[in-house]
Amino acid sequence: MKSLAVAQVRDWRLGMAGLVLMAALAHEARAQDIITSHGISTFGDLKYGPDFTPDYVNPDAPKGGEISMAAVGGTWDTLNPYSIKGVPGAGATAPYETILTGTADEIGAAYCLMCKTLEYPADRAWVIFHLRDDVTFADGSPMTAEDVIFSYEQFRDHGLSDFRTILSTQVDKAEVIDPLTVKFTFKAGVPFRDLPAKMGGFPVFSKADFVAKKRSLEDSTRDPFLGTGPYQLDSARTVTGRAVVWKRNPDYWGEALPINKGQNNFDSLRFEYFGDPNAAFEAFKAGTYTFRQESSSKSWATAYDFPGVQDGTVKQEEIANGAKASGQAYVFNLRREKFQDPRVREAISLMFNFEWSNRSLFYGLYTRINSVWENSYLAAQGAPSEAEKAILQPLVDQGLLPAAILTDPPITAPVSGEDQLDRKNLRKASKLLDEAGWEVGDDGLRRKDGVVLTVEILNDNPQFDRVHNPFIENLKALGIDASLKNVDDAQFETRTQPPAFDFDLITSAAHANMEPGDEMRQFYGSETADNSSYNVMGLKSPAVDAMARVVEAAKTKEELVTATQALDRVLLAERFWIPQWYKASVWTAYYDQYGHPEKMPPYALGETSFWWYDAAKGDKLKADGVLR
């Protein structure tokens, strides 16, 4: 009996040893699947290793001076950029930082700024951020994990409603592990690809400041939240409605970090407000502000002949821009019954003559936008590839898309002739409206069920009048009662944001990122159509919803490119916009007291970040009486 007992104990011990060994091997396997890094990218490797300084900055750039810019179109009344209440002051995000930060020469990369490392499994089902122990808010108080989770909860519970709608489907748990460690666990069944970086992208506020001052993320305020960023409000020089000035924090915690070398160089960032573009331009000529990013082709082509340019005190520079086009476009309000028929939208789009506008108004300086991802490899081209067809076919089979999308090139903007009113396009548009039931009456106006077809362009920029008015004339020739309604910034904001959405047609943008993910549901999803400041057109399309999910779930770069190109085709087929124009460069003009890196990065101008002030040149401009 004793030998049997000994044998049983031996077998038990061997069994336990085996279990321990199996557990150890399993733990080792799991450990191998856990990634600890200084950053994260959507696909592939990061460009930079730990403790890097970006290639595109001048690490020896001097600190000091001021860069001053114009803010055009009325005034501001809040310094909370995260609420739909009020008009935020320029630069209102300057006081805040995020745990992770990107670079201006990569797509889809995020690096530790306020963390030492991040940790996540291979499937990205959760992420842990190991925070730095030297991060402080502007008042010198330390930032901790409590502040991170508190800030996340503010955005989760009080952020923009369209953002909350998406976020609620993704995060299962957010928790403080210890004073310098936070963990986010994601809900099963959602694509995890972008979520670790997303969780590192929330601005971090001071919980103590929020509580003590009884703040709300939803309220308008002229007292910025307490953040960790390099710039804070210069309240002595900020005048409500007229100017906003941000001053560099001399005790900024991250000044010596390698990632910040050559950045945050100016002592102050000043934004001067002007009621209209003409007043702003005249103020620039007079030296009221010193850096200008020109947005008017007419001004760029004809107005830079003033003495400052002629004598070299003001420099004009065109800087290449490798980013995708902005997606600038006329956008329909699809919530209005008259625009729910795609034939009506197509007819109206035929009346905007880009070719005539570019030649007659823009001095031939622009290129037409034809894709939501214009100026990038994500734009749909030609007939769909076999890989695209495989994605689109089920939607065709369900009747959500026309069969032609499997064989035809993507829908692009119509091409017009030399005359302002293209007669061929007018005839095509007339036929479309006839088919849609909008018949021409004896007075030349189109009606359906006794109601006149009206189109009002809502506008907050008088510089656009010269573009809108010929378009309106063409619409009137089609029998549409078209008009232009000019309003100030505050009225425009109120009428185009939720819950009002009180407009027919506005100049806005088709939003997109170079590595699109869950934000496509925020920009175009049916679930956000009635509460989104991005989905301003109110798009509700089952086909777009399905394609956005495919994009979000892509696991490789190749899959993402294919899915995005297919989504581009579907978005273009919705005809929710009349695309306008873009230029693959940035027009800048500035008083010759600034410097920038010789080799500029492709995805950011960086004028408030990695440009710098040349004190010797600035002193000379002042000595010569050019600047005060």
Please report, for the chain, the start and end positions of each structural domain, with discontinuous segments joined by +: 39-60+96-228, 266-323+584-623, 328-375+384-582
The predicted pLDDT at position 85 comes to 86
Mean pLDDT across the stretch 149-159?
94
Tens of pLDDT, residue by residue over 275-327, are 888 999 999 999 999 999 999 999 999 999 999 999 999 999 999 999 999 99
For the cut 50, the answer to whether the pLDDT of residue 28 exceeds it is no
Name the average pLDDT for the chain: 93
The predicted pLDDT at position 164 comes to 86
The predicted pLDDT at position 13 comes to 36
For the cut 90, the answer to whether the pLDDT of residue 74 exceeds it is no
Tens of pLDDT, residue by residue over 398-417, are 999 999 999 999 999 999 99
Task: Report percent pLDDT > 90 for the chain.
Answer: 87
Tens of pLDDT, residue by residue over 348-394, are 999 999 999 999 999 999 999 999 999 999 999 999 999 999 999 99
Q: How far is CA 20 from CA 6, 10, 11, 54, 364, in A?
A: 20, 15, 14, 47, 74
Residue 7 binned pLDDT confidence (cut-offs 50, 70, 90): very low
Q: pTM for the full model?
A: 0.87
Residue with tokens 């032609």: 404
The predicted pLDDT at position 23 comes to 43
The predicted pLDDT at position 86 comes to 85
The predicted pLDDT at position 19 comes to 39
For the cut 50, the answer to whether the pLDDT of residue 4 exceeds it is no
Structure token pair of residue 276? 């209209």
The predicted pLDDT at position 2 comes to 34
For the cut 80, the answer to whether the pLDDT of residue 20 exceeds it is no
Residue 561 binned pLDDT confidence (cut-offs 50, 70, 90): very high
Four-residue CA torsion sign, 524, 554, 568, 579: positive
Residue 21 binned pLDDT confidence (cut-offs 50, 70, 90): very low
Structure token pair of residue 230? 């390099």
Distance CA 134, CA 65 (A): 27
Mean pLDDT across the stretch 213-220?
94
The predicted pLDDT at position 276 comes to 87
39-60+96-228 under CATH 3.40.190.10, yes or no: yes
Class for the domain spanning 328-375+384-582: alpha beta
Structure token pair of residue 337? 């019954």
Mean pLDDT across the stretch 426-434?
98
For the cut 90, the answer to whether the pLDDT of residue 33 exceeds it is no
Mean pLDDT across the stretch 125-144?
98
Tens of pLDDT, residue by residue over 542-557, are 999 999 999 999 999 9
For the cut 60, the answer to whether the pLDDT of residue 449 exceeds it is yes
For the cut 60, the answer to whether the pLDDT of residue 9 exceeds it is no
**C-beta atoms surrounding 179 within 10 Å:** 12
Structure token pair of residue 301? 């082509």
The residue type at 31:
A
The three-state (H, E, C) secondary structure of 166-190, written as one string: HHCCCEEEEEEEECCEEEEEECCCC
Distance CA 199, CA 185 (A): 10
Distance CA 328, CA 577 (A): 9
